[in-house]
Structure 1
Amino acid sequence: MSAPRDIWPTAPIVVSEQVKHVILRFFEISDSTEKTSGRLFAEELFTEDGVFTTHPSCVFRGRAEIAGSREHNNPLVVGRAHELRGVFCADSPASDVLVNGVFKIDVKGGQRVEMEFNARFVVGDAEGRLGFVQVWTDPTDMKAALGEAKKGEGN
């Protein structure tokens, strides 16, 4: 995960170090291909009743579901990296934040796919845990690359 220092809003918008840490940690965990990484989301980042939406049909509600959110990661994905390009806030102090950037996926067989993404983060408690996260991206190129990788495996 990479994030230039100048992506954060400046005064009069205030983004606390706590909120910055939670967002950056979210993307560090997101870059993992480990099936257990969902547990880190749940334990470190989300409120007990937090909601994590990765796609309209993939909504995880509460820590138990969020902990299992990565158990079915596609084994054809061998690397993931997010590059943050901008952070925008709906309020100050920043408790409702939109992040945009590029998501890079390495697929078995050597193909790399780059997709733009946006992600909304809503802080859910005084400790800075996330009450809501929603991610938007166009998965068309990723689906095509995964289809090619699957063909390459003879499946």
Structure 2
Amino acid sequence: MEKYLYSALSDNFYLTTEKARYIANGAWPSDGIEVSEAAFVEFTQAAPAGKIRGADKKGRPAWMDAPSLTLDEMVALDELKKQRMKSYANAYINEQQWAARLSLGRITEAEKNHFNQWLDYLDALEAIDVSDAPDILWPTPPVEQAS
């Protein structure tokens, strides 16, 4: 059975059989405490939703509440969301070739109405001010219809 150390300072695990290699590289933790293999396995897996790995008051690994996003981080995430939504809408519109078909007079009234709904959706996305994060009311895309 392997033995592990956990360092609260580095938030890392260290295999005790590799101690000489860590020391040679100046990486052996001064605050390391022995933990079970079960703890190693648990805390090297993906964190549960809303949690991050950290150390408890005794320096042992523990799941901690993930810090809340800052306003700048929320704004950046919402800007990415806005750009993804716009890209998707533009790709859908381009795939339908509505603009070309409209200019050639080869579009039905139903297709023209659907095209206008997607253009309205793009306008609504463009009007989103992401600095209002996290209180953004995102527009709903029109229902995709078979061509």
What TM-score bracket applies, with the shorter chain setting the length? under 0.3
Q: TM-score, normalised by structure 1?
A: 0.24
The structure where helix makes up a greater share of residues is 2
- Tell which structure's C-alpha radius of gyration is larger: 2
Q: TM-score, normalised by structure 2?
A: 0.25
The structure where strand makes up a greater share of residues is 1
